[in-house]
Structure 1
Amino acid sequence: MGAAGSKLEKALGDQFPEGERYFGLENFGNTCYCNSVLQALYFCVPFREQLLEYYSNNKSPADADENLLTCLADLFTQISSQKRKTGVIAPKRFVQRLRKQNEIFRSFMHQDAHEFLNYLLNELVDILEKEARASKSDQESSSPSEKISNGPNNMSANGPQKEPIVTWVHKNFQGILTNETRCLRCETVTARDETFLDLSLDIEQNSSITSCLKNFSSTETLNAEDKFFCDKCCSLQEAQKRMKIKKPPHILVIHLKRFKFIEQLGRYKKLSYRVVFPLELRLSNTVEDADTEYSLFAVVVHVGSGPNHGHYVSLVKSHNHWLFFDDENVEMIEESAVQTFFGAAQEYSSNTDHGYILFYERLVC
C-alpha cells in the first residue's frame, strides 16, 4: 500500500491524527469477511484501548495459552505500535488461530461477516470469563476462611450458583432486552430479560433503521395455536407480546438481515433493499422511554448480488474523517459517500454495495 498509503497521508496532511495508524489488512483467500470486521473493531476506541491494556498486562503468552483473544490483542498492538502512519499488515496469526479453532472458517468459501463477529465476541467473552473464574479460584484458595464465610450466600436448591462475570467485552457491547407478555384475560404482565451483543433486524424496502427498530418492538398478538400459558390463570390465554430494550449498550451493533430463505426457491436470497442508517441515531423504544443517542462510527458492507459470493469492505469514522477499508487498500471518503451504501431503491439495480453491520457508539450527555 505504498502509493495508496502516501496518498492517504497527503490527503490528511497536517490533520493526520496524532498517534493514529491506518493500516490495510492482507487477504488470505476470501478473508475479507474477517478483515472488514477487524477494522470496525479496531476503530471501536474503548474496545481497542481495553484490548491493548489486556495485552500489556499479559505479554508473551506461551504457545499453549494462545487463543483468539491473545492473537487479536497481538494484532491490534502490532498496528498501534507501527512507526509508519499507513501501510499493510498480515493478520496471519489471527486467521490461522481462527481456522484452527473453528472448521466453518477453514474453507476458502464465502463466509458471513456477522457470523464471524458473533463467534468472535462470544469467544472473547468465554476466554475472559474463564480467566476471571480461575483468578477468583486462586484468590479463594489462598484465603480459605473468607471462602467458608461467603459459602451459604452462593447456594441454591440446585447447588452452588455462579455469579455472573461482567467482562470489558460485556461493558462495551452488552445490552438487555425485556420480553413483555400481557395476558388479555387477567392483564398480568410477565417480563423475561435476555442479554444481547448485537441486534438482528428484519428489513423492508425503502425503510430506515428507526422504522426497523419500531417493528422489532411492535406488539404481537398470541392467539389460536400460539396462545400463552398464564401462570395466574393457570391456562392458555390470548396475550400480547412485545420486545423492548431495557438497557441500551455502550456500543450498539445492528445487523441487517439481508439474507432471507425463500421457500419457493429453496435457497437464500440477498435483499438489496434501501435501508437508511443515520449518522446520529435516537433510540426511543427503551423501557425508560428516554431517548438514547448514538453516533455511527463503522459500517461493514456486503458487495455482491447473492449470499454465497461477493466481498466485504468497511467504512470507518476516525477523528471526524471517514475512511474506506478494502483489505490492503485504505482511502479517505467524503461523509456524504456513506449514503451510497444504504441499498437499492429498486429491486433490479446495478448497486450491489449494501450496509450489513452497523456500529454505533453511545453519546454521553
Structure 2
Amino acid sequence: MEILMTVSKIASICTMGANASALEKEIGPEQFPVNEHYFGLVNFGNTCYCNSVLQALYFCRPFREKVLAYKSQPRKKENLLTCLADLFHSIATQKKKVGVIPPKKFITRLRKENELFDNYMQQDAHEFLNYLLNTIADILQEERKQEKQNGRLPNGSIDNENNNSTPDPTWVHEIFQGTLTNETRCLTCETISSKDEDFLDLSVDVEQNTSITHCLRGFSNTETLCSEYKYYCEECRSKQEAHKRMKVKKLPMILALHLKRFKYMDQLHRYTKLSYRVVFPLELRLFNTSGDATNPDRMYDLVAVVVHC
C-alpha cells in the first residue's frame, strides 16, 4: 500500500538514515537545514510498516513541533504519545546529523496497547497511521477532560463537554482533519441535499497507468442513483433518480492520501493487489473542492511517500 503526505506551504523531502553527503548531492543542499537530523529506525523483525510511518510523520513539521512541545510539558503517565515524544526528542537532540535509533520503547508500548500489532506478522501501514492519529487524539481529549476543574480548564475557558457535546478538536485534528461534503441532487425537483463528514486521510481508488490527480478526480465523479438504488427525496416524498458526488469542503493543513491497492475480484472471489504505476507530483492542488470550500486554491508540497510492499 502507499500513503502520500502533502503539506501546504512547506517543502521538504527527506530520507532518514541515508548518507548525508549522498543525499545532498542527489537532492540539493537547500533541502538540508543546518539543524535537521536524518536517522533511520531499527526494524524489529516486522516493524517496517511502523517505522516508515513514523519517519513520514517526523518530517511533517507541524506534527513534529506539536509532539516535541508535548514532551516539554510536565511528565505524564506513560502512553503511546509520551513514547512517541521521547522518540522524536531523541532524534531531534542527536549530536550527529545521521545515524540509527532503535524505537524499542515505542514498539513495546504499541504492542502492549493493541494486540493487532503484538505479533511478528506484517501489518498495514495505513491502518497503523489511522490507529496512531486516533489514539493520540483520544489521549489529548482524555487529558483535557481530566484537567477541567469545576467546569473550567486551567486557562479559564469553559468546558463544553459537560453538555455531552462533541469534544473540542485537538492539534491532531487541526493538522490532519479536513471535511468532505456529500452532495445529492434529485433529478426530478433539482433539490440538493448535503451531508458533511470529517476525515484524517483520503482513500482513493487506483487505475492502470494513472496519476494522483486522476485518482482524486475519480473520487469526486458523479454517481447516478437509479433502479433499486434510487434516492428518497424529502421534497418529492418518494424515491427518485439522483446524482451523487463527494467533494472537499475543508482542506486540511496536511493532506494524507491513501492509495487503495487491494480490489475484490469477483471472478477470483478474493482481494488482489493492484501493482499499477501511479504518478504523483511534487506540488498538488485539489480541484474537487465544493463551491463553499475555504481556501480552495491551497497548494500542497509533497513531504513523504510510504510504500509498504
Where on the TM-score scale, by shorter chain, does this alignment land: which range? 0.7 to 0.9
State the AA in 1 paired with 2:54: L
1:282 to partner: Cα distance = 1.5
Q: Which residue of 2 aligns with 1:99?
A: 111
Shift of 1:125: 1.0
Q: Partners in 1 of 2:211 and 2:23 — Cα distance?
A: 32
CA contact (8 A) 1:9 1:86 kept: no
Residues 32 and 161 of structure 1: is their aligned pair in 2 closer, same or farther, counting only changes over 3 Å? same
The 5 Å alignment of 1:197-346 reads 197-288=200-291, 290-303=296-309
**Letter aligned with residue 278 of structure 1:** P
Would you say the 8 A contact 2:17–2:40 is kept in 1? no
Which structure's CA Rg is the greater one?
1
Shift of 1:168: 0.8
Runs of 4 or more, structure 1, over 3 Å off, are 4-7, 9-16
SS at 2:72's partner residue?
A: helix
Q: Distance in 2 between matches of 1:281 and 1:142?
A: 39
Assess, with a 3 A threshold, how the Cα gap between structure 1 residues 66 and 178 changes in structure 2: closer, same or farther: same
| Distance (Å, rounded) in 2 between the aligned partners of 1:92 and 1:21 | 19
**Identical-residue share of aligned pairs (%):** 60
Give the TM-score, by structure 2 length.
Answer: 0.85
Partner residue, 1:86: 98
Residue 118 of structure 1, aligned match among 116, 122, 130: 130
Alignment pair present for 1:75 and 2:91:
no
Q: What's the RMSD between the two structures over aligned residues?
A: 2.5
1:19 aligns with 2:35: yes
Does the 8 A contact of 1:284 with 1:292 survive in 2?
A: no
Contact 1:259 1:269 in 2 (8 A): yes
Gaps of 5+ in 2: 1-15
> Structure 1: which amino acid aligns with 2:58?
Y
2:149 to 138, 153, 170: 138
Q: Give the Å deviation of 1:166.
A: 1.6
Cα distance in 2 for residues equivalent to 1:247 and 1:272: 31
Shift of 1:296: 0.6
| C-alpha deviation, 1:25, in angstroms | 0.3
Q: Tell me the amino acid that sits aligned with residue 228 of structure 1.
A: Y
Normalising to structure 1: TM-score of the pair?
A: 0.73
Matches within 5 A, 1:45-84: 45-59=61-75, 61=76, 65-84=77-96
| Partner amino acid, structure 2, of 1:294 | Y
Please give the residue correspondences for 1:133-212 in structure 2 after superposition, counting only pairs within 5 Å: 133-135=145-147, 137-138=148-149, 140=151, 160-212=163-215
The residue aligned with 2:8 is none
Higher RCO structure (Cα 8 Å, ≥6 apart): 2
Local SS of the residue matching 1:140: coil
Matched pairs, number = 285
Mapped partners of 1:186, 1:47: distance in 2: 46
